Amino acid sequence: MALFQSSTRIIPDVANVPRHIAIIMDGNGRWAKKRFLPRVAGHQRGVETVREVVRACHEMGVEYLTLFAFSSENWRRPADEVSFLMQLFLKMLEREVSKLHNNNIRLKIIGDRSRFDDTLNRYIEDAEALTANNTNLTLTVAANYGGRWDIMQAMRAMVRDRPELAGAFEEADLAPYLSMSYAPEPDLFIRTGGEQRISNFLLWQLAYAELYFTDTLWPAFDADALRAAIASYQARERRFGRTSEQVQAGGQAQAASQDERHA
């Protein structure tokens, strides 16, 4: 299993281009409403933005892109919208997976799959299996995902596998059970659509992500908007708890850090 640096246990290496970008794709409904279209037309149009952003990340050398497609709370929406979104997800898997595979992109789906029907679950499993060994971008789609769900499922799985730990477990014991243990923590978090909240996305993993909010609605977001977010990221100083002076003196090497290796 690959080893990744936990931002709270070791100071991660910081690259000029974020290694991992996590996005809350928000504003589809409002985009449609502004055009006197049904909300679902915004979701449909949002798929095109997904294609453009995946391509742009790939070209810019981003290694991990994680997209929030459906939250554990989105079931509260009207049944016809929920059902449209599930259909759209299925169609995306049907149509796009071979293209992703041809581009050497690995696809991962995170979230609670127990509420999906068998057909959808079969498509998810097949898509992950087909692309598992691809080495370009890792594209993760968060579907029926909630940050609290993630922490809870990780706890349950850890306690089941390692009952001997009882109450004496560390962060590093829990980390391999979290949904995104295969990826470094997000460097850059983007939320489109103007709201400034996390909405139960990657609560654990966003500990030290740089947050970027834009009023642009998701269907109107594009490669240039992504470049603007990355430029904002590049102008920031990531201190991870240290002082600015330490960072400028090359604090990465000096900082006392604990090794977070786990099997």
Residues 105-124 that bind Mg ion (CB under 5 A): none
The HSE-up count of residue 35 (CA atoms within 13 Å, CB side) is 15
Binding map of ligand IPE across residues 37-76, x = CB under 6 A, - = no contact? -------------------------------xxxx--x--
Residue 26 makes contact with Mg ion by CB under 5 A: yes
Residue 25 makes contact with ligand IPE by CB under 6 A: yes
Q: Which is nearer to ligand IPE, 114 or 196 (CB)?
A: 196
Residues 76, 34 contacting (CB under 8 angstroms)? no
Q: Which is nearer to ligand IPE, 68 or 177 (CB)?
A: 68
Pick one of 6, 28, 179, 216: the residue that binds ligand IPE (CB under 6 A).
28
- What is the per-residue DSSP string for 141-161? EEEEE-HHHHHHHHHHHHHHH
Among the options 13, 26, 134, 200, which is catalytic?
A: 26
Least Cα distance to 73 among 147, 177, 155 occurs for 147
- Signed CA dihedral, 34, 78, 47, 218: sign only: positive
The interface partner of residue 71, options being ligand IPE, Mg ion, none and the CB cut-off 5 to 8 Å by kind, is: ligand IPE
Residues 74 and 209: their CA atoms lie apart, in Å, by 24
Sequence-ordered list of residues with C-beta below 8 angstroms from that of 85, at least 6 positions apart, any chain:
43, 69, 70, 74
**Cβ neighbours of 225 (radius 10 Å):** 19
**Cβ neighbours of 151 (radius 10 Å):** 16
Residue 193 makes contact with ligand IPE by CB under 6 A: yes
Catalytic residue flag (residue 26): yes
Pick one of 85, 93, 174, 226: the residue that binds ligand IPE (CB under 6 A).
85
Per CB under 6 A, the segment of 6-14, 24-32, 54-62, 164-172 that binds ligand IPE is 24-32
Residues found near Mg ion in the complex (CB under 5 A):
26
Catalytic residues: 26, 74
Residues found near ligand IPE in the complex (CB under 6 A):
24-30, 68-71, 74, 85, 193, 195, 197, 199
